[in-house]
Structure 1
Amino acid sequence: MTDWPFAPGDSPFRMKGLAYRALYQFVEREIEGGRDAFVASLPRSHRTFARQPFMAASWYDLAPVVAMNETAASMMRMDVDTFMRVRGEAQAEEDLGGVYSWLLKIASPGAVVGGFPRLTTRYFDWGGVEVEKLADAHVRIWRLGVPDYFAHWYVAVSVPFMTYAIQKAGGKGVRIETELSADAPAHGVRCSKIAFDVRW
C-alpha cells in the first residue's frame, strides 16, 4: 500500500457525495447491522469521517473509500477486487438508469465514450481526462493525475462503469484493457496516468 500523508477528510482529492451515499445504500442492504456495524469495523482513524452525513451534491475526500471498500469486502467475505467490480456494476446501473438509460439508448457508443470527460467531472474535481480516437470502434481514454494510493480502486470501478454505459448505447463485445504509467506528482503524492484501451 502506498503511504498516504493526509488524514481522512483532509486530502485535496475529492469525490461527490452521491458515490458515498450509494455505498451506504449498498451497506444497509447487504451487510448485517448496516451502517453502524460497518462504521464500527472501519479503522479507528476513519470512523469520524464515515459517520458524517453525505450530501449527494457536496464534495468529500476520496481517499477513505480505499479502507471503506476493504472493510465492506471483508464483512461480505469477498476479495476486494470482486467487491469493487460488483460495486462498479451496481453504481453504473444506479447512476445511468432512469432518464440516462433513455439517453444511452439513442446515443452511439462513440458519443457515450466522448462524453466520459464531462461525466468524470460529475464525480471528481481533480486530474484530467483525454480521449483519443484510434478507429471507428476503438478509443484510448487517458485519466491523468490519479494518486497511486487509489489508482487500483479507480480502475476497478471504472471498467465496469464504462462497459455498462457502452453496452447500453449498443456497443457489442466491449473490451477494455488498462495500463498505468507514471504521471507528475500532485499535492506531494505520487500519481499515475491510466490508459483505458476501449474497443467494441
Structure 2
Amino acid sequence: MTRRPLSVLRIPTLPAAPGKSGFHIKGVVYSGIFGRLAQETGALERLREELNDQTLLGFFDQLFLASGWYDIFPIVPLFSAMARTRGVSFESASIEGTRARATEDLNSIYRSFYRGATPAQVALRLARGFGRYIDFGDATSTENADGTVEIATHKLPTFLLPWYMPSAATFCRIALELAGARDVRTFWRAPEDDGERGDISLASIQLSLSWR
C-alpha cells in the first residue's frame, strides 16, 4: 500500500467555527479554487466526500464574491482534502493552488504590480501586495546590501502557517519571474511566537528572497 504523506493523513480541526474566526481572505481565492474544481470531472464530489463535515460543507456552499471577504481558516481543511483526493502532499496542493491564482491575477488585474519594474522593485512591493488578499498581519520589506530582500510578517495565525508559507513563497517566485528574475530562491526563517488574538495563537515569520 502506498503511504500517504503525513500532512494529508487527516483533515485538521478549525480553531474557530467556519465563518467566525475574524481573519479573512478575498473571495476571489475561494471562487477560483471551486471554479477550477468544477472543470474537473468528479472533483467536487470527491472533495465533498473527503471533507465529510456538514459545517464546512455549508461554508463552502455559499456564493463567494470575488471582492468579498471570507473566513480564511477553512482554506486549510480545503487544501488538506484536495491533497488527499489527489494523492499529493498538503504543501504541493497549496503551491498548485497559489500558482494558478497568482498566474491569473498577475497577468490581468495586478499586471501593473510588476510591469516596467525591476525584480528588486517588485520584491519590495510584495509585502504590500499581500494585503490585497488578506485583512490581517503586518508585513514589511527590507533590501539588504547583498541585493536580497527580506519580508517580515507579524501577527499571523499559527494555524495558517503550513498553508501560508508555501503559498506566499510561490506568489513571490511567480511575481519575480514575471519581472525578469531568474533562479529565484526563497528561504523561510523559523516562525516565532507573536502573542495571541483572542484564543488564536499568532506568529511572526520572515521570508528571504534572492535571484539573479
TM-score by length of 2: 0.86
Q: Give the alignment partner of residue 205 of structure 2, picking from 172, 194, 198.
A: 194
Offset at residue 36 of structure 1 (A):
4.7
Q: Give the alignment partner of residue 62 of structure 2, picking from 52, 58, 62.
A: 52
For residues 110 and 12 of structure 2, what CA distance do their matches in structure 1 show?
36
Tell me which residue corresponds to 1:172: 182
Q: What SS does the aligned partner of 2:39 have?
A: helix
Change (3 A) 1:51 1:114: same
Change (3 A) 1:186 1:103: closer
1:81 aligns with 2:91: yes
Contact 1:40–1:47 at 8 Å: present in 2 too? no
Contact 2:47–2:82 at 8 Å: present in 1 too? yes
Offset at residue 105 of structure 1 (A):
4.0
Report the identity percentage.
Answer: 26
Tell me which residue corresponds to 1:185: 196
Q: Which has the larger helix fraction?
A: 1
1:29-68 aligned at under 5 Å gives the runs 29-30=39-40, 32-44=41-53, 45-68=55-78
1:120 aligns with 2:125: no
For residues 13 and 80 of structure 2, what CA distance do their matches in structure 1 show?
16
Contact 1:27–1:72 at 8 Å: present in 2 too? no
Contact 1:174–1:198 at 8 Å: present in 2 too? yes
| Per-residue deviation, residues 72-124 of structure 1 (Å, max 9, x unmatched) | 11112222111111112112111111364465241111211222232111111
Q: Give the alignment partner of residue 150 of structure 2, picking from 140, 148, 153.
A: 140
User: Residue 117 of structure 1 aligns to which amino acid in structure 2?
Assistant: A
Change (3 A) 1:193 1:103: closer
Tell me which residue corresponds to 2:119: 109
For residues 123 and 83 of structure 1, what CA distance do their matches in structure 2 show?
19
User: Residue 147 of structure 2 aligns to which amino acid in structure 1?
Assistant: A
Change (3 A) 1:59 1:103: closer
What is the total number of aligned residue pairs between the two structures?
Answer: 199
Contact 2:195–2:202 at 8 Å: present in 1 too? yes
Offset at residue 167 of structure 1 (A):
1.0
User: Structure 2: which 5+ runs fail to align?
Assistant: 1-10
Q: What SS does the aligned partner of 2:114 have?
A: helix
Q: What SS does the aligned partner of 1:176 have?
A: strand
User: Structure 1: which 5+ runs fail to align?
Assistant: none
TM-score by length of 1: 0.91
